[in-house]
Amino acid sequence: MSGVEVITFGCRLNTYESEVMRAEAEKAGLNNAVLVNTCAVTAEAVRQARQAIRRARRENPHARIIVTGCAAQTEKETFAEMAEVDAVLGNEEKLASVSYRSLPDFGVSAEEKLRVNDIMSVRATAPQMVKHIDGHVRAFIQVQNGCDHRCTFCIIPYGRGNSRSVPMGAVVDQARRLAESGYREIVLTGVDATSYGADLPGTPTLGLLAKTLLKQVPEILRLRLSSIDSIEADGHLLDLIAEEPRFMPHLHLSLQHGDDLILKRMKRRHSSADARAFCDGVRRLRPEISLGADMIAGFPTETEPMFENAMRLAEDCGIAHLHVFPYSPRPGTPAARMPQLDRALVKERAARLRAKGAELHAGHLEGMIGSSQTILVEMNGLAHTENFTLVDAAGLEPRSLVAVGITGHNGKHLTIERKQMAAA
């Protein structure tokens, strides 16, 4: 092979950082290389990364394989000991061209492969400028990195470090660059995005940042947020939900569970009542809003009534896009030392929660039939409405915004009446 290939796992922040990695590696003159940007959120994510590394070596026997990302930060020895891996970079090192200029030679020891520093020592997040996000019609902007919270199930702070924010001016500059490059929609992303600004002068909030972006970059047609912690939502953010048509009516919430005792054992900062109040409140502000959420099934000590509380919360909050994670113990986290449930029970509960999610999603699709929507067409024949519902858009021009009428659904995607379409 020639050039630099990037394999990305995990979140939107990783997707954004993969473009930075590609640019920095090319700037360093790296060639014939595969960069694997890993995720550590579950043991399965780590397994998939190892599998991808072995496949990359089979397909590119003479390429240099460099592994980085959250799993490389938290389990560096795991990857350094793989014969297929030539170098392991930490989450901070992966974003600097100097890291790709100082790689070890082929055939070195596991210790020599490592370029992973203490992520907790990192105190700032430098702005990273990219002109495009490969393969995506929506552009992502990193506004924050790291997390100051220590949820008992989560390994991510040990992969990302403590919370640090990108200065507002740099975010505005990046948004302007991406809008001028032709992106119609921008997504603000971070590890704990709603903690944005706590470490900056004047302590601006995520909502204020979003307001400022829409004011100073009028070319932004659609603005979204990645996953947020509802307990940290600020007044500016609620103003946008209520009043700003360019702020898209969709939020993805880090709910995690619906039982108050489990939430305490997770060390979450909200109660089930807080979650219900937030969801009810944003629906009053923007009736067409759709809500997504992450939830964990089979957390240690979870009883059947506790699990049923989680099912009930998903229904009460009307979660249209439910992402279910079977609990996965991560070594080094407090939850991994708690009494564990049988793995078969964890999988069974995850399947039941996913079934509830499918039922809620079908109800959401039914509710959209007969409505008029503006969709952004993706590269794969699908599109997203403003409230982030998937649409079958086969035959439509990628990157275009199109006004459509919703006529039905197939259980997963909305269907549209072609004769009602007009360029938006």
pLDDT in tens, 236-292: 999 999 999 999 999 999 999 999 999 999 999 999 999 999 999 999 999 999 999
* Per-residue tokens: 71: 């799993």
Read off the amino acid at residue 205.
T
From residue 280, give the alpha-carbon distance in Å to each of 226, 233, 274, 283, 359: 20, 14, 10, 5, 20
Q: How confident is the model at residue 420 (pLDDT cuts 50, 70, 90)?
A: very low
| Segment 129-183, tens digit of pLDDT | 666 666 678 899 999 999 999 999 999 898 899 999 999 999 999 999 999 989 9
Beta strands (DSSP E) in 246-318 are 250-256, 290-297
- The helix-helix angle for 272-285 and 235-243 (nearest 10°) equals 40
- State the residue for tokens 């219900």: 276
Res. 110: pLDDT tops 70: no
Q: How far apart are CA 227 and CA 224, in angstroms?
A: 10
Question: Phi, psi at residue 381, to the nearest 5°?
Answer: 85, 5
From residue 120, give the alpha-carbon distance in Å to each of 58, 147, 247, 282, 331: 35, 10, 34, 35, 18
Helices and strands of the chain, counted as H and E runs: 14, 19
Rg (CA), the chain: 22
Q: How far apart are CA 122 and CA 226, in angstroms?
A: 23
Read off the amino acid at residue 235.
G
Q: Which helix (H) or strand (E) holds 362?
A: helix 343-368
- Among 397, 402, 408, which residue's Cα sits nearest to residue 420? 402
* pLDDT of res. 418: 63
pTM of the model: 0.87
* pLDDT of res. 120: 72
Beta strands (DSSP E) in 166-318 are 185-189, 222-225, 250-256, 290-297
What is the topology classification, in CATH, of domain 4-117? Rossmann fold (3.40.50)
The domain 139-367 is placed in CATH, from the list 3.50.50.60, 3.80.30.20, 3.10.580.10, 3.40.50.720, at 3.80.30.20
Query: For the chain, what's the residue count?
Result: 424
| Segment 220-243, tens digit of pLDDT | 999 999 899 999 999 999 999 999
- State the residue for tokens 């043991």: 43
* pLDDT of res. 147: 93
Q: How confident is the model at residue 401 (pLDDT cuts 50, 70, 90)?
A: very high
Question: Phi, psi at residue 34, to the nearest 5°?
Answer: -120, 125
- The share of the chain scoring above pLDDT 90, in percent, equals 75
From residue 196, give the alpha-carbon distance in Å to each of 301, 336, 368: 33, 29, 33
Mean pLDDT over 315-322 rounds to 97
Going from N- to C-terminal start, the domains of the chain cover: 4-117, 139-367, 371-416
- Other beta carbons within 10 angstroms of residue 184's beta carbon come to 18
Residues 6+ apart with CB under 8 A from 314: 258, 293, 295, 322, 353, 356, 357, 360
Q: How confident is the model at residue 422 (pLDDT cuts 50, 70, 90)?
A: very low
- What is the DSSP code (8-state) at residue 75? S
Residues 6+ apart with CB under 8 A from 156: 40, 41, 70, 147, 191
Mean pLDDT over 29-55 rounds to 92
Q: How far apart are CA 402 and CA 397, in angstroms?
A: 9
Res. 42: pLDDT tops 50: yes
CA atoms within 13 A on the CB side of 247: 26
Rounded to a whole number, what is the largest CA-CA distance in the chain? Answer: 63
* pLDDT of res. 393: 92
Mean pLDDT over 191-202 rounds to 94
